[in-house]
Amino acid sequence: MKSAKRIAAKLILLFTAMIVMSAASSENGVESLRQTSKAFAAVARKVSPSVVSIRVEGNTSSTRLTPFDDEWPFDNDFFRRFFGDDFPNAPRQKRSQKPRSNRRVIGQGSGFVFKTGQEALAGKTYLLTNNHVVKNAGKISVQFKDGREFDAKVTGRDPHSDIAVIEINATGFASLALADSSAIEVGEWVVAIGNPFGLSHTLTAGIVSAKGRTSVGINDYEDFIQTDAAINPGNSGGPLVNLDGEVVGINTAIFSRSGGHMGIGFAIPSNLANTIATQLIEHGEVTRGFLGIVVQPLTSELADMFGVKSSRGILVAKVAENSPAEKAGLRQGDVILTFRDQPVTDIGHFRNQVALTPPGKQVSLTVLRNGKTQLLRAKLGELTEDRKAAQGDEGSASEIGINVQTITPELAQRFEARSGEGVVVTEVKPGSIASLAGIRAGTIILQANKKPVNNAQAFEQAIKQSASTKRALLLVRSGDMQRFVALAW
């Protein structure tokens, strides 16, 4: 009996302890949430005074009244800009044309006071934003959280990275520090602050979903931070900050079906923004390094064709005449493994590395050629509008099915080719490997299996010689784009 009483007493004590522990655990959980809440509030207090709402007025000759006036006429998801031009290269539905007239366009965006790391010109404050926010501006005004409003003007714009710097003739504002964006990790908390839908100084929180997004197709030079922090039209140009209140990125674009937040947003990393903005302030423009090659991804099929054991690196599809690349000894078919002693992981990363290297600088490249690595050195030139090297698209493989024709003088003039150099594709069988690999009627085939094909007979012979292996490597050109295509059937 006494034993039973002791057991019952112990059970009561254990049950009481569990209740106390549960209550303590619950209180700890609530306290943890309170601390998180206070952290976000601290970020808002620190950052908000440096963030501005940007109002842009301008005249445009257009049938549209605002950048959001058109419907988005596709069933698939597309990236949409917050303000300004629509997503690049996306066609629009044709509408009945009305007489075009100059209309007053009013748009809104965001920005923040930018610290360049050096003394600003006397009496001026520089603010960072997106190029697409201010590119068509006739008049720009910015408003701070305390209600003060100022007229602003453009210091410099860079359409290729979508970065712009604007300035106001006033001082005394707190600037935001830029963090090292390369150090931020996927999963970290971030906060977006801006002017979504005209609602000034709105704060939203989320995490870093991914880093190094280089093939989104929004800007010429990309290295986006992806986040699920809610950002919407009007957030464009505003800061994405860490919990220390330091800027890790500039909110730039969203992935959306409706034009609103769907959990995927993109921000230009602060390291890239800092480099571009500093040049805009100091020189009014951006200079970029120029190598002079066309490159394409090294797919597993292409790696096999070129005898490369892995798909690391990128493939050189074309070397421009008299370019720094040609002078350094780069050749068509080389696989670039490193640039400035850094591994080359993809085309976007490589383009950024070259572009951000100052013109005139000597750089090293490790290339794989005929199964052997070589170290080359090149002196970069300056990238100008007429020297842009487009990046090649990725080739894929499936079954052949094309008709070709020798290039006559008439065809050479029509397709901007050289008579007797290559063959022109006149027909592509739907569903064939050529079709799946992106070959279209009008494509010029310059080589087959690394040998020039100067007439239709030479091309047909090259394909017949590939019958035993059922593989062919083509060098093709469409417009100004030149690339290798690996076919297997």
- pTM of the predicted model over 0.85: no
Q: What's the pLDDT at 5?
A: 65
Q: What is the mean pLDDT of residues 377-389?
A: 80
Spatial separation of the C-alpha atoms in residues 78 and 252, rounded to whole Å:
14
Q: What is the pLDDT of residue 155?
A: 94
Mean pLDDT of all residues belonging to the chain? 79
74 pLDDT above the threshold of 50: no
Q: Across residues 411-416, what is the average pLDDT?
A: 73
pLDDT of residue 449 exceeding 50: yes
Supply the DSSP string of 192-256, one letter for each residue. Answer: EEE-GGG-TTEEEEEEEEEEEE--SSSSSS--EEEE-S---TT-TT-EEE-TTS-EEEEEEEEEE
Output 67 or 253, whichever has higher pLDDT: 253
62 is catalytic: no
Band (87; pLDDT cuts 50, 70, 90): very low
> Residues 236, 270, 323, 466: which is the catalytic one?
236
Catalytic residue among 53, 110, 132, 209: 132
CB 110 within 8 A of CB 235: yes
Return the minimum-mean-pLDDT range out of 97-111, 122-136, 469-483: 97-111
What pLDDT does residue 426 have? 73
Catalytic-residue membership of 310: no
Q: Whole-angstrom Cα distance, residue 418 to residue 395?
A: 24
183 sits in which H/E element: none
Q: Give the active site residue among 158, 162, 223, 228.
A: 162
Report the pLDDT value the prediction gives residue 67, as an integer from 0 to 100: 30
pLDDT grade, residue 79 (50/70/90)? very low
Please confirm, yes or no, whether 86 is among the known catalytic residues: no
202-215 tens-digit pLDDT: 999 999 999 988 86
Q: Higher pLDDT residue, 402 or 299?
A: 402
Give tens-digit pLDDT for 267-294: 999 999 999 999 999 888 999 999 999 8
